[in-house]
Amino acid sequence: MPSVTATPGVRQEKDVRQEKKDQLTPLYNVVLLDDDEHTYEYVIEMLQKLFAFSETDAFQHAVEVDSTGRTVVMTCELDQAEFGRDQIHAYGADPRMPQSKGSMSAIVEPVAG
């Protein structure tokens, strides 16, 4: 078996580059927006199914979106955030409310700071 010779400093340089890349990757919030066409049950069910929230965590987000008009349901890189937003938009109307015509709204916004 041939011997492999490590070049001093090469591994460390790659680690430093990866660390810098990780630090430079911007993060985004998926923000669920409030409306009057969806029940707490709908919000809790959706968050459990789409984001694997516990019932308790999903309920807390339902309270927050109802009381403040918005709640951050996920923080991640842009492509994942856009996918999360799209999943919310595709979830459909709340069958518990006849006036519900479609999914809830969500936006993607950069993390401040």
Alpha helices in the chain (DSSP H): 10-24, 40-51, 55-68, 78-89
Q: What is the structure's pLDDT at 24? A: 80
Is pTM beyond 0.75 here?
Answer: yes
**Exposure on the CB side of residue 68, measured as CA atoms within 13 A:** 11
Q: Which of 85, 106, 108, 99 is nearest to 39 (CA)?
A: 99
Q: What is the structure's pLDDT at 73? A: 98
In the predicted model, is pLDDT for residue 45 greater than 70? Answer: yes
Domains of the chain: 26-110 (3.30.1390.10)
Q: What is the structure's pLDDT at 6? A: 52
3-state helix, strand, coil in the chain (%, to 5): 45, 15, 35
Q: What percent of the chain has pLDDT over 90?
A: 76
